[in-house]
Amino acid sequence: MIGTTAGAAAMYQAMSSLGYAAESPYQGPIDLQGTPKGASVVVLGAGIAGMTAAYELRNAGYQVQVLEYNSRAGGRNWSLRGGDRYTELGGATQHCEFDEGLYINPGPWRLPYHHRGMLNYCKRLGVPLEAFVQVNYNAYLHSSRHFGGKPRRYREIKADYQGHVAELLAKATQQRALDASVSKEDQERLLESLREWGALDRDFAYVASDSTSARRGYQKHPGGGLTARPIPSEPVGLADILDSRLWQGIPAGDEIDMQTSLFQPVGGMGRVGEAFGRELGPLIHYNAKVIGIQQDPHGVTVSYEDTTKPGATLNARADWCLCTIPLPILAQIPMNVGPKLATAIGKVPYASAVKVGLQFKRRFWEEDDHIYGGISYTDLPIMNIGYPNTGYHSSGKGVLLGAYIWGRNAMEFTAMAPQDRVLKAVEYGSQVHPQYHKEFDNGVAVAWHRSPFTMGCFGMWTAEARAQYYDDLCRIDGRIALAGEHASYIPGWQEGAVTSALDAIGRLHQRAVAEGAKA
Amino acid sequence: MSLKRSAAPCLALVFLLGTTLAAADHPSSVNPTSNVVAGANGEAVYSHICQGCHMPGGQGAVGAGHYPKLASDPALVSWQYVATTVLGGRNGMPSFGTRANGEEIFGAATLSDQEVADVVNYVRSHFGNTYKEKVTVSQVAGLPHPGGPMNPASTVSH
């Protein structure tokens, strides 16, 4: 009987099937009760989805084994630190030479406050969090073709854009252009709010003043003593802002996934995968390359090779299989599933993305530029420069995310040798921070299409593909269920991996309980 | 970046990747200094894009899965097979064809029909492949493109 024992799982499934919720559907730990004695699951992949599933299934009394291709737990949840080696597809090996305590996260790097599934596992696994800075008002917006190629501060562009728009709207109001849509009374309130929102003066003009400089920064900041008198700064003209397109960077923190607060694990995102790996211990078989998945009426047999001892085929057998293998790889593994699932597996191309970590001899972005954490945006191919949201004000070396690239730029970076990606990131980044050339120390570059364990960054769904194949991808086929960010409406986010894993094991559990009742 | 102009599934990607300047809406303006592929020949397309996965020399690569080797590959006998794969993608491989419905997919890279023809001719005449016949831009234009009809009559046999 399924009865009430699977109630939580069923409810969870119903909630998550609504899909596309603005916030994560995670509602608390899953409650799997009534596990049949001796029931077993083989989990493929020790990334966030696989380890979420393995952790919960083990706690529910299943016999669990996990097969993982890498020699470490975490999958894309991963931090590269000094002493680490990484060999990409094609054979190039990088030795990370960062100083003690410094790292980059080649994959995910931030946890929105409402990704409650991820946050909950961090808490249960004892992974401490700290703030991730999404919007830093003193970081840069940079156009290589405007303002002489010099970066502008986010606060300048935001204050000036907002101020000019407020002034225009105030003028339109005063010139009675809004009479048809805004009542007389509301026009007064609107004007009052525009003055406050845009830091306008008493005549509703956006001009150099104490109040505008308090937002965009002064030419000379107020201080103490005889040299204290501040000098207001001159706003950038509206036409220059519009022409430069730097306004595109203003809403960087406005979407719900980017709104304050965000978090990062202390010591690197990889701490989550490492903690899961410790928790699951001997349940995970590392260096296991899956080469076949065959189900029959009684269970699933997964054949695999130990990549440290090639030549022999090993088998893992269980009642059920939860498969989190990224789709480009899964599409190449012989597997006896129905045509709908088999088709769906081949319909999700994976996005290209590249991250470059650069170590510098000193934290010049803090010491010279007063940028503490956050992100600068540029129209150069490196697209983003991410500053470390930790270790502020420390002396010694520091590591920047020197590039976070996707789309065609990422493909072009992927096609380069790793050391060339690093050199290119230094070359482009020096247009934003001229200190790069003098201070550069060493770097590592991860191109996700060269990742041996994913062959891409994340599942890139189109609307048509979702409509045609998504449900088929997520439905249980016999004794096999898929999970991972690719089986979610939160592609590329770890919360998609967590919620898809919980959804899938909830449904597998119902079947296991039903089968156990028949037996 | 204008979220309003993105289709719904793209929103999630925009959320994921954060906002950057000019990225999604103006792909041609993203990259003022490395726009090497525009109007370039098949070799440039291959070395700047394809070799990211298929590797220099078309050797392919093996990890948990594999990227097909293109060197001395008998499957390349069919130019239609190669061109259709470049245009529409295959399994995890993204599509590179210009979308028939004009839709821009966030994070996707697009090649013109001329670039597709050039790179198809390049791989079929390099890396130990010696197919003489050249595909033309109009032949590429006649093949199915992403965002177009799913199974047009001109579908390839191989």
User: B66 — contact with chain A (CB < 8 Å)?
Assistant: yes
Query: Looking at residues A493-509, what average pLDDT do you find?
Result: 98
For residue A369, give how far its alpha carbon lies from the nearest alpha carbon of chain B (Å): 21
pLDDT value at A193 more than 50? yes
Specify if B150 maps to a domain: no
Q: Chain A: give the shortest CA distance to residue B31, in Å.
A: 6
Nearest CA in chain B to A306: B64
List chain A residues with CB under 8 Å of B51. 415
Which residue of A351, A412, A450 is in closest CB contact with B107? A351
A519: pLDDT confidence band, cut at 50, 70 and 90?
A: low
Number of domains in chain B: 2
The pLDDT value recorded for residue A518 is 74
Strand partners, A411: none
Give A92→chain B minimum CA distance, Å: 11
Does residue B154 form part of some domain?
Answer: no
Is residue B82 assigned to a domain? Answer: yes
Whether residue A13 is predicted with pLDDT greater than 70 in this model: the reply is no
In this structure, the answer to whether residues B53 and B85 fall within a common structural domain is yes
pLDDT band at A299 (very low <50, low <70, confident <90, very high): very high
Contact A463 B7 (CB under 8 A): yes
Residue B63 and residue B131 share a domain: yes
Q: Which of A349, A383, A493 sits opposite B94 (nearest CB)?
A: A349
Residues B44 and B2 in one domain: no
Average pLDDT in the B119-137 region?
A: 96
pLDDT over threshold 80, residue B152: no
Fold of A80-138+260-265+351-450: Polyamine Oxidase; Chain A, domain 2 (3.90.660)
Residues from chain B contacting residue A466 (CB–CB below 8 Å): 9
Residues of chain A contacting B16 with CB distance shorter than 8 Å: 257, 458, 491-493
Chosen from B6, B16, B96, B99 to mutate, greatest number of chain A CBs within 10 A: B16
Nearest to B21 among A141, A289, A404 (CB): A141
Report if residue B25 sits inside a domain: yes
Contact assignment for B107 to A407 by CB distance below 8 Å: yes
CA-nearest residue of chain A to B24? Answer: A407
The reply to whether omega before A261 is within 30° of 0 (cis) is yes
Q: Inform me whether the pLDDT recorded for A271 exceeds 60.
A: yes
Q: What is the ipTM of this complex?
A: 0.89
For range A47-66, the mean pLDDT: 98
Does B29 share its domain with B78? Answer: no
In a domain, B148, yes or no: no
pLDDT confidence of residue A32: 95
Enumerate the CATH 1.20.1440.240 domain ranges in chain A, comma separated. Answer: 154-244
Is the pLDDT confidence value at A106 over 80? yes
Q: How many helices (H) and strands (E) does chain A have?
A: 17, 22
Q: Which member of A69, A415, A454 has the closest CB to residue B49?
A: A415
Q: Is B88 a member of any domain?
A: yes
Average pLDDT over residues A106-117: 98
pLDDT of residue B101: 81
Q: B62 touching A, CB under 8 A?
A: yes
Q: Are residues B20 and B66 in the same domain?
A: no
Distances in Å between the Cα of A353 and the Cα atoms of A208, A381, A409, A410, B29 are 42, 12, 9, 5, 19
pLDDT confidence of B147, banded at 50, 70, 90?
Answer: confident
Q: How far is residue B87's CA from residue B140's CA, in Å, rounded to a whole number? A: 9
- Look up tokens 């004695």; give the residue: A37
List the domain range (segments joined by +) for residue B84. Answer: 36-141
Task: Inform me whether the C-beta atom of residue B57 falls under 8 Å from chain A C-beta atoms.
Answer: no
Model pLDDT, residue B103: 76
Give mean pLDDT, residues A412-441: 98
* Residue A354 in this model has a pLDDT that exceeds 50: yes
Q: Residue B154: its pLDDT value, please? A: 37
Minimal Cβ distance to B65: which of A328, A349, A491: A328
The reported pLDDT for the residue numbered B99 is 87
pLDDT (average), residues B147-151: 67
Beta bridge partners of A335: A293
Does pLDDT of A266 surpass 60?
Answer: yes
Q: pLDDT confidence of A420, banded at 50, 70, 90?
A: very high
Chain B residue with minimal CA distance to A23? B12
Rounded mean pLDDT, A264-280? 98
Indicate whether B1 and B73 sit together in one domain: no
Query: Looking at residue B23, what is its pLDDT?
Result: 34
Please check whether residues B124 and B66 belong to one and the same domain.
yes
What is the CATH classification number for the domain harbouring B126? 1.10.760.10
- Please give the average per-residue pLDDT across B25-36, as a whole number: 36
Average pLDDT of the residues in B121-135 = 96
**Are residue B1 and residue B14 in the same domain, yes or no?**
yes
Provide the mean pLDDT of chain A. Answer: 94
Q: What is the model's pLDDT at position B150?
A: 56
| pLDDT above 70 (res A129) | yes
Listed range (A41-45, A337-341, B107-111) with the worst mean pLDDT: B107-111
Q: What does the pLDDT average to over B68-76?
A: 96
Is the predicted pLDDT of residue B10 greater than 50, yes or no? no
Contact A259, B18 (CB under 8 A): no
Residue A260 has pLDDT above 60, yes or no: yes
- The CA distances from residue A478 to A108, A220, A306, A377, A435, in Å, are 32, 70, 27, 47, 59
Which residues in chain A are classed under CATH 3.90.660.10?
80-138+260-265+351-450
DSSP A73-126: SBTTS--EETT-EEE-TTS-EEE--PPTT-EE-SS---EETT-HHHHHHHHHTT
Chain A residues whose CB is inside 8 A of the B71 CB are none
- Express each pLDDT in A67-91 by its tens digit: 999 999 999 999 999 999 999 999 9
Percent of chain A scoring above 70 in pLDDT? 96
Q: CB under 8 Å to A487, separation ≥6 — which residues?
A: A473, A474, A496, A500, A504
- Residue A473 DSSP label: H
Amino acid A22: pLDDT:
61
Assess if residue B151 is contained within a domain. no
Same domain? B102 vs B43:
yes
CATH class for the domain made up of A154-244: mainly alpha
Mean pLDDT of B126-146: 95
Protein fold of A7-74+272-347+460-518: FAD/NAD(P)-binding domain (3.50.50)
Residues B65 and B127 in one domain: yes
With bands split at pLDDT 50, 70 and 90, how would you rate the model's confidence at B34?
very low
Model confidence over A328-339: pLDDT tens digits?
Answer: 999 999 999 999
The two beta strands, B66-67 and B61-62, are antiparallel
Question: Do B20 and A451 lie within an 8 Å CB cutoff?
Answer: no
Residue B157 lies in a domain: no
Stretch B118-145: mean pLDDT:
96
Question: Are residue B44 and residue B66 in the same domain, yes or no?
Answer: yes
B149: burial class by Cβ within 10 Å (0-12, 13-18, 19+)? exposed
Statement to judge: residues B96 and B123 lie in one domain? yes
Q: Per the CB < 8 Å rule, is A379 touching B12?
A: no
Q: Give the number of other CB atoms < 10 A from CB of residue B129.
A: 18
Distance CA A214, CA B36 (A): 44
